Homo-oligomer: A and B are copies of this chain.
Amino acid sequence: MGPGPSDVYPRVLEALSRPTVGHLDPSFIRMMDEVKSLLQTVFRTKNELTMVVSGPGSAGMETCFANLVEKGDTVVICQNGAFGGRMKEMAERCGGKVILVEDSWGRAIDPAKFEDALKRNPEARLAGFVHAETSTGVLSDVKTLAEIAHRHDCVTVVDAVTSLGGVPLEVDAWELDAVYSGTQKCLSCVPGLSPVTFGPRAVEKLKKRSAKVQSWFMDLNLVMAYWGSGAKRAYHHTAPINALYGLHEALVILLEEGLDASWARHRAHHEEVRAGVEAMGLELIVPPPERLPQLNAISVPKGVDESAVRTALLDGYNLEIGAGLGSLAGKIWRVGLMGCGCNRKNVVLFLSALNSVLKSMNAPSRSGETLQSARVR
């Protein structure tokens, strides 16, 4: 129940151990086509350039910036947590001049501030923002942010690492241009792959580049010769065959449940966690309309050693939760409800275990008696 990697479906773990075939084997090529089609369904897009980067979410993020930034380009990046900061770092290393729009950690991106930055930097043609900030548990309104970006002629890079599968994400309807995600959050697959989709604006920007993409490994012109359509595939690099078996299975499981049902499940169990921690006298740091169901950022009560609580949960209950990052280090716990880990059993376990641990540390707890009587398992 940390911020990811989340628990992995047993069917996905089983799929990983299927025999490894060649990356150009016809049966594997057919499976890649299926992965692509499943991803289009899950991203809610018809984008032809939809594929899987052979690296973790950070490699997907860098793939977007490496392909879309050219030296000297102005790039507007919104930062309301750790991953906006990573976007800035990557865009700069790709030669971009970054205009950073900062919001408080724990709050959604403010569309007005974003638009103001675009007005002040009319030369900007690229903007980046995070849909679901895993570092703070905040959901931003990327539909509105994309509308604003397009009004100012900017292509958008959207971080959907933690949002995909857990909350509504509509790549085509919201006209998101370059979107990357990860496999280890609400898809409940193992970490190590990054689904990426490029829409028409992003493809056009990529085609208009004057210089080569600075990364050979991440150059989508080359990657797509392998992931593209048709029987003819050109070798680019050796794909992570078995990890892709796992992703295929995870996407099948998600669509068996249905996207709407998955989103509703994440929301429902989040409400249970919220009710439980509030009953303990604890607070979620994010205002209700901006809360991300799959990542619950809980204030550490005054006088409580946050690290000791996490250790006690891990040692006593085999339960992992996350620490705060950056300016929130030491101040919050991050409790994930992602993919197959998002279920009532986990909610009950977490609330009961946290309550017991806090009581044993003599921390403030209002309704500890009631919660502690709940069965732990």
Contacts and interface: CB of A to CB of B under 8 A. Distances in A.
A203 interface: no
Contact of A17 (B13, B59, B89, B216): B13
B57 A55 contact: no
Contact of A216 (B54, B86, B238, B240): B86
A90 interface: yes
A240 B93 CA distance: 24
A23 B5 contact: yes
Stoichiometry, as copies per complex, reads: 2
Interface stretch (A141-149, A207-215, A346-354): A207-215
Contacts of A93: 212-216
A258 B124 CA distance: 58
Given A8-B19, A16-B17, A62-B215, A238 B86 contact: no
Given A55-B59, A93-B212, A20 B237 contact: no
Interface stretch (A169-177, A184-192, A265-273, A274-282): A184-192
A217 B215 CA distance: 11
Contact of A184 (B5, B56, B238): B238
A13 B5 contact: no
A47 to B, nearest CB: 23
A215 B61 CA distance: 11
Contacts of A122: none
A98 to B, nearest CB: 13
Interface in A26-66: 26, 54-59, 62, 66
Contacts of A26: 314
Given A22-B320, A55-B55, A190-B242, A216 B5 contact: no
Contact of A62 (B184, B217, B241, B320): B217
A235 B56 contact: no
- A192, A238, A239, A240: residue with the most chain B Cβ atoms closer than 10 Å: A238
B55 A217 contact: yes
A21 B191 CA distance: 10
A2 interface: yes
